Structure 1
Amino acid sequence: MKRRWKKPSWLALCLVGFGIVAFSYLGFWQLRRAAEKELLLAAYAVAAVNDPIDLAEARRTAAPGFFPRITLRGRFDPIHTYLLDDQVRDGRQGVLAFAVFDPGDGSLPLLVNRGFVARDGTAGLPAMPPVPAGGQQLNGIYATAPGSGLRLGGNALPAQMQWPKLTIYIDTIEIGTDLGRPIDTRVLLLDADAASGFVREWTPQILPPERHRGYAFQWFCFALASVVIFIVLHWRRVQPGSK
């Protein structure tokens, strides 16, 4: 049985053209996201083994994708701590504890991520080690603040009168306003310490590059499917005796 090409309508051409462009764009976007995630993971891996630099140098050289390991001296604010809620480590829900730290050189305060503490199953806040008193020397990764995702319910900090304050995202501008003084837009991820009482695993909690490549493959398959469907619909069989 013979086949004959049926001239497609302008609508069909526009639809297949839009599908190819849109699906291809999404595929290449996922490939770019995979490359970005690889660079991010590599930056954290390098920072974990590099010798620390001082905070002032890290602030001078701060750039996207650059997360240096730093060392600094100063004192913790003994009162003001923020708990990032809805965190999961090894299947357990809990919080990340962010304490305010005042560098000894009098420069801008910054948030220090002391680590993860699991909830004990009760409705209250989990118990955690107290903030260390006196002068401290800290080592850790000078990193961007965790992503905020969807901000449902707005800023809950002003309505809370007791410390520590619970939040579902870390916004350094809002926290600075809550404290009544500006703070660094980056945070310090403390080096691991088995005696600290906190879990400190700083590999970014992100969608892995392999998953992005899988999504890219799916989008490219959709683009190919658009072409195949277009051809199948317009390359029709011709019945014997038909013109």
Structure 2
Amino acid sequence: MLVILATVSLFLLLVKLGFWQLSRAELKEELQSQLTSRQAAAPLSYRKLLSLPASEPLTGYKLSTTVTPVGNKVFLLDNQIFNGQVGYLALQVMQVNPIDPWLLVELGFVPAGNDRRVLPKLPHINQSQTFTGRLYQKQANPMSSDLFAEEGWPKRVQNLNISQIETTLNHPVALAVLQPESIKGINLPHPWQPIPLSAQKHLGYALQWFSMAVAFALLVFYFIRVRLKKK
């Protein structure tokens, strides 16, 4: 009886995983449609951005605003990979209005050196600039979401935890990062991967789980048939 229950449970688990991947594929298709729609719309103002509900996903919106650097405060988001290189995503702290939350502006991807004790030299935005670009929010790491901020500036961090960044800066911060179309005097690459896995990837995974379920069912049927013949 236990063998039968375990066999049925495993088969149902494989099927369930297949349907879960199908649901993920459907969700990714909706997200891609949403991103396309937002990219085609006019840029938001900073006031409009701040007025959106906190529960509203902000990735894909366009923003146009003028910013002023808050000193040379730059966060280095660790463990980033671009074109096969390991490095950091540099994010500079900027002010839009004195009374509003600060905004993180992406300077771009910076390769890491061979010695982790030595942080890379970084360009900075040193004066007010008007930017138009797209917004994104990093997906939370299910294993660890803490900032793990190191001492000094630039400040290496492990996750883009906005609430802990606010604590570090002792100032409110907007919930999304601005990736400008261009930055005067800075020519770093700007990776863009708002959807880590495409709908097609999830469909492929669903096919794998369903195939495993069918193969498992055939294997069980084969062993049952062999045992019946022996009897």
Structure 1 segment 1-243 matched on structure 2, within 5 A: 10-61=1-52, 63-64=56-57, 67-104=60-97, 106-123=99-116, 124-133=118-127, 135-148=128-141, 150-151=143-144, 155-157=147-149, 160=151, 162-192=152-182, 196-204=186-194, 206-236=196-226, 237-238=228-229
Higher relative contact order (CA 8 A, sep 6+): 1
For the aligned residues, what is the CA RMSD?
Answer: 2.7
Match of residue 4 from structure 1: none
Total equivalences in the alignment: 227
* Deviations 1:75-133 (CA, angstroms, capped at 9, x unpaired): 12123210011211111222111111211273221222221122354542222212232
2:31 aligned counterpart, secondary structure: helix
Q: Is the alpha carbon distance of 1:230 and 1:194 closer, same or farther for their aligned partners in structure 2, counting shifts above 3 Å?
A: farther
Bigger radius of gyration, 1 or 2? Answer: 1
1:23 aligned counterpart, secondary structure: helix
Q: Provide the rounded CA distance (Å) in 1 between the counterparts of 2:176 and 2:220.
A: 51
Q: Provide the rounded CA distance (Å) in 2 between the counterparts of 1:142 and 1:181.
A: 20
2:174 aligned counterpart, secondary structure: coil
- Given that residues 76 and 91 in structure 2 are in contact (C-alpha distance below 8 angstroms), is that contact kept between their aligned partners in structure 1? yes
Q: Provide the rounded CA distance (Å) in 2 between the counterparts of 1:194 and 1:30.
A: 43
TM-score by length of 1: 0.80
